[in-house]
Structure 1
């Protein structure tokens, strides 16, 4: 009876989607075991008969393809062991569900969908989305516009299980189906926004949640990046330029690099814990006193709370909040760490505490005092 009343709330065409929420494995909260990041899928949005949005001279499909290819090249050159898969490398139309299928078939560890935005001409800024609930009308409108791509496909109501891009009812269901990779998706999205705003000084529109079909269908940490607004004259000029596209690709790459370091460190720590459990079960093998890298080097975890261009003043809030704040100069920037420990579990607890006041804080791994690249 309870199931009947719950399903009857939705139109009949959405019942299959509503029932998905009751299937084991569909989670409403993020959290999944991770391995090392070995495969990334880059998804330049739109293409072919679907131009996406446009500015005075630029088409979204062209801008995002260029940035996507530049991003992939940076990853291939700097991380030769990482496999880079593209949903498209030329000006072709790829259906939304096929984009997600490509990522799933590749067993990707990260899915990056790249887009450009449109709005009234005064609106500007970069934003990064993960799958979730629309919290504002503007979030809903962005997702609605990107999802409307499916109208280029034949029989889209069957392919997308009754989804209608013009119906708010459809968004309610799709927004509820958050995958188990929400935390990891938010982590990478935050890293992207930090690069856009702290390094490139782009106007920050933040990390947001909305019901994007291409993210819903992807079975791995996934984000959708809106590089900026082609309807804003200065942003269009920047995004259509080689310099602008190079900078945006480099920013996403740096976020990818930072995310990979932390994720790989978590995977290594997980293996170390499993190994320690096995050694504990065998009396003849002593338990190591501290976590160590395979070659014997010592591992340290630090909670990074800020990266800025100028050193913090003595009375800054972070210095008051974290009396043991550690400063590290890295080229033109200064990095600040609130805590440091050799225990990954303790580092996780510290991070959760710090994120209550510094939501963008994240973990960094050091080996013998050197930040892991």
Structure 2
């Protein structure tokens, strides 16, 4: 019996050494922080008996549960119960975890018949409605002790406090907008919810994070039909699935695939000379920047890169480098963009003029 135990220990040790000898080190999981807005003494919006803090929490837990089924993905929640968490603590949770994404879930409210979904990245408000939403969400800091010190004198009611907030998240703006766009497309294309768009506004909880971050308003509790939908199990499940799939599509679009499909394609390309990786109707491009200003696409504006393409999507101009139906060539363009200084650039795919995930593009038939 003793000899058998020794043999088992030796065998396990041998497997461990053999694994490390091949350089097979466990990769860092992709970390997503799911933030259920409000909580505890902060109920958020409340209309017609619908409470934002409860609906946001229920949906956040459903999103996390769905994401936890994917390999090499870790979910962290800012809260899992009805408790009050200061805004800066929510951001600290994400920063301390070295998270890859931060998604904050909220419900809207307005003294009108307004309804629909909208998803925000950090930025200067483009209109009064965006500023009003940010001011309302940020006013929760009044419930925190010493908020003047914690937030360096930031006053949610003072418009001048919002000037310059974009600088805090500028490095992650492109990715944040991409994530917001994927989530909005799930709401509108699949659920047929009213699309209020991808927007920018000065949310404190986004300002404090150091990774791509969005705040998604999943609907208006003040509009009773929408509030009833969000409170129902069907509505919660559908909205949660949309957020989860938006996150997955974002993850896949930047070539962090959960499956082995992309890896298999890449390895095949390495071993088969002349392997055809051109896809029918698909165009791969590298998104290098996004902003509200329409820049001339001359090389001097883009660190010497030539052939820059500018496209307007909603109120933002997006700038792309490269144009190819080859996945491998697209990755070459990505390497060139990063070498030029666009460290946060990423590969995107279009099919018949419509943006799709890179993973979806790789499932298309070859030319």
**Normalising by structure 1, what TM-score?**
0.68
**Which SS does the other structure have where 1:264 is aligned?**
coil
Task: State yes or no: 1:245 paired with 2:236.
Answer: yes
CA distance in 2, matches of 1:235, 1:366: 31
- Give the Cα–Cα distance (whole angstroms) in 2 for the partners of residues 84 and 368 of structure 1: 27
Aligned equivalents of 1:41 and 1:244: distance in 2?
22
Asked if 1:107 corresponds to 2:98, the answer is: yes
Q: Distance in 2 between matches of 1:266 and 1:214?
A: 28
- Residue in 1 aligned with 2:330? 344
Match in the other structure for 2:49: 57
* Equivalent position to 1:365, from 327, 349, 359: 359
Q: Is the 8 A contact 1:40 1:84 kept in 2?
A: yes
Q: Which residue of 2 aligns with 1:206?
A: 197
- Between 1 and 2, higher relative CO (CA 8 Å, sep ≥ 6) is seen in 1
Residues 196-253 of structure 1 deviation map (CA, whole Å, 9 limit, x = unaligned): 0000000000000001110010000000000000000111010011100000000111
> How many Å apart are 1:304 and its aligned residue?
8.6
Q: How does 1:203-352 map to 2 (within 5 A)?
A: 203-265=194-256, 292=267, 302-303=282-283, 340-342=325-327, 343-345=329-331
Residues 326-356 of structure 1: CA deviation (Å, up to 9, x unaligned): xxxxxxxxxxxx962131247769988979x
Pairing partner for 2:59 from 57, 62, 67:
67
Q: Which residue of 1 aligns with 2:165?
A: 174
Which residue of the partner structure matches residue 121 of structure 2? 130
Segments of 5+ residues of structure 1 without an aligned counterpart are 1-34, 273-289, 306-337
Return the alpha-carbon distance in structure 2 between the equivalents of residues 198 and 250 of structure 1: 13
Structure 1 residues 364 and 104, CA gap change in structure 2 (3 angstroms)? same
Is the 8 Å Cα contact of residues 303 and 363 (structure 1) preserved in structure 2? Answer: no
Contact 1:126 1:196 in 2 (8 A): yes
- 1:331 aligns with none
- Residue 173 of structure 1 and its aligned partner are, at CA, apart by 3.1
Show CA shifts across 1:42-62 (max 9, x none): 000000000001110111000
CA offset digits 1:240-277 (Å, max 9, x no partner): 1110000000011111111111123599xxxx9xxxxx
Q: 1:123 to 1:294 in 2, by over 3 A?
A: same
CA distance in structure 2 between the aligned counterparts of 1:83 and 1:353, rounded to whole angstroms: 26
TM-score by length of 2: 0.69
Root mean square deviation, CA, Å: 3.4
> CA offset at residue 361 of structure 1?
2.1
Q: Give me the whole-angstrom Cα distance separating, in 1, the residues matched to 2:269 and 2:164.
A: 46
Per the alignment, in what secondary structure is the counterpart of residue 48 of structure 2?
coil
Q: How many residues align?
A: 282
1:80 Cα deviation after fit? 3.2
Deviations 1:49-99 (A, max 9, x none): 00001110111000000000000000012x132110000000000000000
Matched, 1:86 2:86: no
Deviation at 1:152, TM superposition (A): 0.3
Unaligned residue ranges in structure 2 (runs of 5+)? 1-26, 286-322, 338-345
Do 2:348 and 2:358's aligned partners in 1 also have CA atoms closer than 8 Å?
Answer: no
Change (3 A) 1:351 1:87: closer
Cα pair 2:186 2:243 within 8 Å, conserved: yes
Distance of aligned partners of 1:243 and 1:156 in 2 relative to their CA distance in 1, 3 Å threshold: same
1:134–1:175 Cα contact (<8 Å) kept: no
Evaluate the alpha carbon distance shift between residue 244 and residue 366 of structure 1 in structure 2; reply closer, same or farther with a 3 A threshold.
Answer: closer
Partners in 2 of 1:40 and 1:172 — Cα distance?
28
SS at match of 1:205: strand
CA distance in 2 between counterparts of 1:369 and 1:213 reads 40
